[in-house]
């Protein structure tokens, strides 16, 4: 039975889109006890704080909320109580000892800096507890512009860390998306990492490790935060969002186990329709070994921006996993039931799948995801992936 898309509609709740979205986003995210982020956050109270740390997660993953909880532990005298002045200031992104650097729209003079956009950034994070790069770019109206950490941020980073701490504690610099840092700013950051001011903590939050200078990575203590997991996201959506189990299963599968992606998909079903259409067409063309058709398909996907291409690959990975489960009759519904406007014989394709084929296809998607992140020519990436998909059939 198909999934009722009306159940995903914000209008059903008699509220605005923002109000609907806030219904599904908690103020404070409770980290699972067995997740690496939990131990890292607990370590903030040890007094042994590395001055430079790099957190890496997938887009829409747990890195940003983990950093926020970690910083709160550093500015609170009672171990992240959530109620003192330090905690409240931090939760409002207004603590005088905590500074933020993030990519913004580059100006003609290269002078765009984070402080010019801090109000927009605060507002963005109110509704995006697991922020996605694409959503920030859209908030900046920067889809066709250069969005980066600019040259002028280089001096600003040093100035911020040379300030006297207001509270007598740590001076903290949080850098979101260092992979989007201009080379001059990156070189200045490198010098800051090599010659740190006393009681400074620099926290870098990245979703593309390969985009960061190797010399910067080598000077940071690195923590990799894996996806929370599809089963965990599904349970989280059911338990804390009161979501229908079938809907939660769909969103957790499509998200690859990242809560921010699941919430984004929930609010943006219409944007997913082209991804569903292209996934179905891709499988059909690869199965038929239709090279001219695949070339035309590649030309279309190759014209998308990088974030759209990566969204598609994550989405496709979730659908492949569901096809394998459907083959083993371990799945009641199917994610594409959410898109009745996209006809697809899921049962027929599921019969063509086996563990070896699905593993090969997932590896193909993973390789393409990495190559897109490295700015490899997208048409070459997707054409090669299409050839690999043909081999799988």
CATH number of the 268-392 domain: 1.20.272
- When the pLDDT of each residue in the chain is averaged and rounded to a whole number, the result is 85
List b or e across 78-106, with b for residues whose CB sees 16 or more CB atoms inside 10 angstroms.
eebeeeeebbebbeebebebbbbbbbbbb
pLDDT of 314 reads: 87
Q: How far apart are CA 274 and CA 278, in angstroms?
A: 6
Question: What are 104-147's pLDDT values in tens digits?
Answer: 987 655 457 899 899 999 999 998 999 999 899 989 886 667 78
Evaluate if pTM is beyond 0.85: no
CATH topology of domain 31-224: Rossmann fold (3.40.50)
Enumerate the domain spans of the chain. 31-224, 268-392
pLDDT at 47 over 90: no
Question: What are 327-383's pLDDT values in tens digits?
Answer: 766 555 577 777 889 888 877 888 888 888 889 999 999 999 999 988 899 999 999
Question: What are 147-189's pLDDT values in tens digits?
Answer: 899 888 888 888 888 888 888 889 999 999 999 998 888 988 8
How much is the average pLDDT of 298-320? 91
Q: If pLDDT is split at 50, 70 and 90, which confidence band does 7 have?
A: very low
Written in H, E and C, the secondary structure of the chain is CCCCHHHHCHHHHCCCHHHHHHHCCCCCCCCCCCCHHHHHHHHHHHCCCCCEEEEECCCCCCHHHHHHHHHHHHHCCCCCCCCCHHHHHHHCCCCCCEEEECCEECCCCCCCCHHHHHHHHHHHHHCCCCCCHHHHHHHCCCCCCCEEECCCHHHHHHHHHHCCCCCCCCEEEEEECHHHECHHHHHHHHHHHHCCCCCEEEEEEECCHHHCCHHHHHCCEEEECCCCCHHHHHHHHHHHHCCCHHHHHHHHHHHCCCHHHHHHHHHCHHHHHHHHHHHHHHHHHHHHCCHHHHHHHHHHHHCCCHHHHHHHHHHHHHHHHHHHHHHCCCCCCCHHHHCCCCCCCHHHHHHCCCHHHHHHHHHHHHHHHHHHHCCCCHHHHHHHHHHHHHHHC
Beta carbons within 10 angstroms of residue 7's beta carbon: 12
């Amino acid at each position: 039975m198909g999934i009722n898309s009306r159940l995903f509609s914000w209008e059903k709740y008699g509220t605005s889109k923002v109000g609907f979205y806030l219904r599904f986003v908690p103020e404070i995210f409770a980290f699972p006890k067995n997740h690496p982020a939990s131990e890292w956050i607990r370590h903030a109270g040890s007094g042994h704080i590395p001055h430079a740390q790099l957190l890496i997660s997938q887009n829409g993953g747990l890195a940003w909320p983990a950093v926020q909880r970690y910083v709160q532990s550093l500015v609170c005298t009672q171990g992240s109580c959530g109620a003192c002045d330090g905690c409240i200031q931090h939760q409002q992104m207004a603590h005088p000892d905590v500074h933020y650097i993030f990519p913004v729209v580059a100006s003609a003079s290269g002078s765009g800096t984070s402080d010019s956009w801090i109000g927009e950034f605060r507002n963005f994070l109110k509704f995006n507890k697991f922020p996605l790069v694409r959503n920030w770019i859209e908030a900046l109206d920067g889809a066709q512009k250069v969005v980066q950490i600019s040259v002028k941020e280089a001096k600003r980073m040093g100035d911020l860390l040379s300030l006297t701490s207001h509270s007598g504690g740590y001076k903290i610099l949080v850098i979101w998306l260092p992979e989007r840092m201009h080379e001059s700013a990156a070189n200045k950051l490198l010098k800051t990492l090599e010659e740190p001011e006393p009681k400074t903590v620099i926290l870098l939050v990245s979703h593309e490790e390969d985009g960061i200078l190797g010399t910067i990575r080598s000077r940071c203590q690195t923590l990799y935060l894996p996806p929370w997991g599809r089963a965990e996201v599904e349970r989280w959506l059911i338990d804390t969002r009161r979501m229908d189990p079938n809907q939660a299963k769909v969103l957790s599968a499509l998200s690859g186990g990242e809560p921010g992606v699941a919430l984004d998909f929930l609010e943006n079903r219409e944007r997913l329709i082209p991804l569903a259409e292209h996934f179905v067409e891709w499988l059909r063309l690869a199965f038929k070994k239709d090279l001219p058709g695949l070339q035309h398909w590649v030309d279309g996907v190759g014209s998308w921006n990088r974030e759209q291409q990566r969204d598609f690959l994550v989405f496709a990975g979730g659908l492949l996993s569901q096809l394998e489960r459907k083959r083993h009759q371990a799945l009641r519904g199917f994610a594409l039931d959410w898109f009745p406007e996209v006809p697809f014989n899921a049962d027929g394709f599921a019969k063509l799948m086996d563990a070896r084929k699905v593993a090969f296809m997932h590896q193909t998607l993973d390789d393409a995801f990495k190559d897109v992140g490295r700015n490899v020519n997208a048409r070459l990436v997707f054409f090669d992936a299409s050839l690999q998909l043909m081999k799988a059939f």
